[in-house]
Amino acid sequence: MPELIPAPVLIPVPGGKVIEEFAGHVATGDDSVSIAHMVAPPGWDEPVQVPEFDEFTIVVGGSLTIESEEGPMLVKAGQAAISRAGDWVRYHTDEGVNYFSICVPAFSIETVHRSDEDISVIDPE
């Protein structure tokens, strides 16, 4: 039977970014996928990460830069990008961004491996 998700769960994060999770560990207890709407202000950035999940990013407003070992990639409104599990990535925006993030399996703080949490896992070799 279909299940209504009446509203997303607001997940507090630093830096002025707003995360509204519709499905995932917090909103639905699901560990196979997470779906979240994100809004980040101009100048927002995240630390380097090497996640254990694939992340599909769909930009609906503004633009988002995804840095990787190959260099920066600008993702504009109407475009999307995929970061694969094990990729060394860093997300940031100059102008602000409105986007959706789908992670498979679901995002978790234990599997994102951000450099500010445990630098020892950041080894793209």
pLDDT at 116: 72
pLDDT band at 123 (very low <50, low <70, confident <90, very high): very low
CA dist 84 and 121 (Å) reads: 16
pLDDT band at 117 (very low <50, low <70, confident <90, very high): low
> Does pLDDT of 87 surpass 90?
yes
28-58 pLDDT per residue, tens: 999 999 999 999 999 999 999 999 999 999 9
- Give the chain's domains with CATH numbers: 17-118 (2.60.120.10)
